[in-house]
Amino acid sequence: MCHLVIIFGSTLTSKEVYGELFIDCFTSLWRGRDDVSIRDIGDRRFLARFVGHSDMQRVLVADQPWTFKNDLMLVADRTGKGLRRCTPLSFGVFWVQIHNVPPLSITVVVAEAIGGLMGTVRKVDTIGSCECIGRFLRVRICFNVRDALMRETFVDFPNEGMVWVDFKYESLPKYCLICGLMEHVTRVCRDMKKEDGVVGCNGGCCLGGLRLLVTYAYLLVI
């Protein structure tokens, strides 16, 4: 029998997880050719036991991140490793679109270089002959979900010079629009404070009372 430990994404917060509802939902979603059993092991963590290895792999390599009530949950294979060594998970995998890249620079090499600013590039979306075709780059990236989401960055291209590129995350669960963390939502962000009825922000640029999340980085493309 294979074993998979699931760390529910709300371990990043203090929000309560209704175990029975979670178990019923994911037992139905994850049951494949063979059976699966899920039990609550406390602290918003769940242990799933798969009879079939292929069913477990289907969960681990899903194209989109797993969520429960629009909160991120992380999964990891703990076969033969035991629960005592199960430290809190931090890394998730997302498809990320990279926009505003000059047309002649929409290549696999550039996609890997820019994507590498965010984390580990797992895959670059290509068409047919291993070339990138389209209006933007699409990259599958593994990154630390406990860090603030990177929204945009400067890239110095050889012909166009400095260009501001934007990142758009696919199937992104709830997160804070102010600080970019997925551990809480905007209305409870510590970076936002109210003084005399006016919403203010600790650092950053405010627009309409809401600080715009900007994560700066710099990349030179040769």
Give the percent of the chain with pLDDT over 90.
Answer: 25
Overall residue count recorded for the chain in this entry: 222
68 is written with which tokens? Answer: 């429960």
Summarize the confidence of residues 208-221 as an average pLDDT: 44
Neighbours of 5 (CB within 10 A): 21
The per-residue pLDDT of the chain, averaged, comes to 78
- Are the C-beta atoms of 91 and 143 separated by less than 8 Å? yes
Q: What is the pLDDT of residues 114-171, one digit of tens each?
A: 999 999 999 999 875 566 778 899 999 999 998 999 988 888 888 888 899 999 999 9
The pLDDT confidence band at residue 192, using thresholds 50, 70 and 90, is low
Residues of the chain with CATH 3.30.70.330: 2-77
Q: Considering only 37-41, 52-56, 81-85, which range has the smallest mean pLDDT?
A: 81-85
Q: What is the mean pLDDT of residues 178-188?
A: 83
The superfamily CATH assigns to domain 2-77 is: RRM (RNA recognition motif) domain (3.30.70.330)
Give the percent of the chain with pLDDT over 70.
73
Output the pLDDT for position 40: 85
